[in-house]
Chains A and B, each alone.
Chain A
Amino acid sequence: MNDASQPGLSREDRTQSPPAMPLVETCIEQLRYARVLEKGMLLGLAVLFLSFLLYVLGILEPFIPLHEIADYWSVDVHTYLDRAGVQGGWSWVGLLGYGDFLNFVGITVLAGTTILCYLAIVPILWRSHDRIYLALVIVEVIVLSVAASGILGTGGH
């Protein structure tokens, strides 16, 4: 399966089946999406792994002491936020100096990779005049961004 080198080709033009070795070309927006997805996934996992090590090894002091963490995970989220004195939403950005909240960087990269993947294929869809899918992709970016923003409600006080 090889990279399609010419944008805007129809699927029929891109698909070839020679008898000895069938060659199926993947459309370029799909390949672009896959590459961005792969990079985002690897980056997110690496950051999460490293930040978690810093957290559990005590290299970075946690906001909630490790020996107290069990008191928080068995209660509902509203009680947890009240007891811990933590806000929901993006308030964790102000707590990046703490080992536990540093993990949110890796989690955010993993959750946000999809938005980047969609944005990466917008130029390809624009150039190929694929208006329907361009609209679908833009709407999806809006949906994911609204979900990520916290506009739909955050926990806390």
Chain B
Amino acid sequence: MRIFRLGPRFRSFVVRQSRWDWVAIGISVALLLGCVLAPVALGAIGSQGGTTPVSLPWWFWPLALFVVTFAMGVVAVLGGVGGGVLYVPIISGFFPFHLDFVRGAGLLVALSGALAAGPGLLKANLADLRLAIPVALIASSFAIVGAMVGLALPTNIVQIALGTTIIGICILMFSAKKSVHPEVPHADRLSSTLRIYGVYHEPSSGHTVNWKIHRTPAGMALFVLIGLMAGLFGLGAGWANVPVLNLLMGAPLKISVATSKFLLSITDASAAWIYMNQGCVIPMIVAPSIMGIMLGSLTGVRLLRVAKPQAVRWVVIVMLAFAGIRAVSKGLGY
């Protein structure tokens, strides 16, 4: 295929993508376009709290939810983001469900993903239980507080705060560095007392990697904020866990990502209970979401073996930015 009048970098990008890379990019862009066009087409924008102007069968929105969360599951794996951080902003922005139910479902979706991934990560010694237990206690306790505060606040305030947070997450995803093997000269006293250190086998190099952490008190203090935000917004907290564990506390990137994923099963469980007890769980929203995202994640993992499209992460950032702006505008009444 001849490409006319395109810059050399873009030509290079196009040529480098495999067929499966284009499949992955296509799914991501379709998800983005679907989020933008569907509500406009159906007149669902501004229908929060009212009836949609188009008469739809009862199964339409649950089916749409299943399809969208399936795409989200694929995109989340390929883009290296959690499904939880995509779910609440996209579903609350572009579906007619109230934010209360979306947050409850979002926590259960993130929880389910963590429960599915946790056993394998623990058995492989990539998620570390000793690292997770103390930070999980802090995060889960404050997730409860966040959930109670979030349910007490007016919805428009939560929408604005959610949108602002999502835009902040986009900036973080765009600018945050990662350190595969951070330099940790000495373990600090707290981590030594708690015996938080370990070993894992790195397949790429064939070496066994010994790791330890530092700045443990500062890291644990940040998990207060992480827990609060997870409970308040119903988001998975992976976007925050990984930078704290990796960049601040010095855990290797693989350990940080795996432990973060596992941590969600504890942090989100505590907040999910609050939302459940408050009545914020509607099975017709929760069940298709969990099934969709789990199937999508399985598909994404298979696709990841044959495609590694760097572009998907950029599409995710754009999608989240759009969803964040949408949440702010909804909160402001537009």
Segment from B1-9, B23-31, B194-202 that makes contact with A: B194-202
Residues 265-285 of B contacting A (Cβ, < 8 Å): 265-266, 269-274, 276-285
Q: B residues within 8 A CB of A41?
A: 112, 115-116, 118-119
Assess whether B119 is in contact with A38, with CB atoms less than 8 Å apart: yes
Assess whether B129 is in contact with A74, with CB atoms less than 8 Å apart: no
Q: B residues within 8 A CB of A51?
A: 283
For A137, the closest partner residue in chain B by CB is B133
Size category of the A interface is 35 or more
Contact with A along B117-147 (1 / 0, CB 8 A): 0111011110011100110110011001000
Assess whether B281 is in contact with A153, with CB atoms less than 8 Å apart: no
A140 CA to B98 CA in the complex, in Å?
31
Size category of the B interface is 35 or more
Segment from B74-82, B248-256, B286-294 that makes contact with A: B286-294
Segment from B13-21, B45-53, B161-169, B237-245 that makes contact with A: B45-53
Q: B residues within 8 A CB of A68?
A: 58
A155 beta carbon closer than 8 Å to chain B: yes
For B280, the closest partner residue in chain A by CB is A77
Assess whether B100 is in contact with A77, with CB atoms less than 8 Å apart: yes
Partner of B276, one of A15, A40, A111, A133: A111
Partner of A140, one of B61, B62, B133, B193: B133
Also in contact, A40 and B136, with CB within 8 A (given A74-B48, A114-B265): no
A132 CA to B56 CA in the complex, in Å?
56
Interface SS majority for chain B: helix
B175 beta carbon closer than 8 Å to chain A: no
Residues 37-51 of B contacting A (Cβ, < 8 Å): 47-51
A152 CA to B151 CA in the complex, in Å?
12
Q: B residues within 8 A CB of A90?
A: 277
Assess whether B111 is in contact with A110, with CB atoms less than 8 Å apart: yes
Q: B residues within 8 A CB of A152?
A: 144, 148, 274, 277
Interface SS majority for chain A: helix
B155 beta carbon closer than 8 Å to chain A: yes
B96 beta carbon closer than 8 Å to chain A: yes
Q: B residues within 8 A CB of A56?
A: 59, 62
Assess whether A139 is in contact with B137, with CB atoms less than 8 Å apart: yes
For A17, the closest partner residue in chain B by CB is B208
Q: B residues within 8 A CB of A72?
A: 282
Assess whether A11 is in contact with B197, with CB atoms less than 8 Å apart: yes
A148 CA to B273 CA in the complex, in Å?
5
Q: B residues within 8 A CB of A101?
A: 283
A81 beta carbon closer than 8 Å to chain B: yes
A29 CA to B111 CA in the complex, in Å?
21
Assess whether B122 is in contact with A26, with CB atoms less than 8 Å apart: yes
Assess whether B140 is in contact with A143, with CB atoms less than 8 Å apart: yes
Assess whether B129 is in contact with A33, with CB atoms less than 8 Å apart: yes
Distance to closest chain B CB from A17 (angstroms): 5
Partner of B290, one of A24, A34, A48, A133: A48
Residues 96-137 of A contacting B (Cβ, < 8 Å): 100-101, 103-104, 107-108, 110-115, 121, 132-133, 136-137
A154 CA to B278 CA in the complex, in Å?
5
For A38, the closest partner residue in chain B by CB is B119
Q: B residues within 8 A CB of A132?
A: 193-194
Assess whether A88 is in contact with B50, with CB atoms less than 8 Å apart: no
B101 beta carbon closer than 8 Å to chain A: yes
A residues bordering B, Cβ < 8 Å? 1, 11, 15, 17, 22, 24, 26-27, 29-31, 33-35, 37-38, 40-41, 44-45, 48-49, 51-52, 55-56, 66-77, 80-81, 86-90, 100-101, 103-104, 107-108, 110-115, 121, 132-133, 136-137, 139-140, 143-144, 146-148, 150, 152-156
Q: Report, nearest first, the 8 A-B pairs whose CB atoms are least far apart.
A: A155-B279, A103-B283, A34-B122, A38-B119, A147-B273, A41-B115, A88-B279, A52-B287
Q: Show 20 A/B contacts (Cβ-Cβ < 8 Å), sorted by A.
A: A11-B198, A15-B199, A41-B112, A41-B116, A44-B115, A52-B287, A52-B288, A70-B58, A70-B61, A88-B277, A101-B283, A107-B108, A110-B111, A113-B115, A115-B269, A133-B130, A140-B136, A143-B270, A147-B144, A147-B270
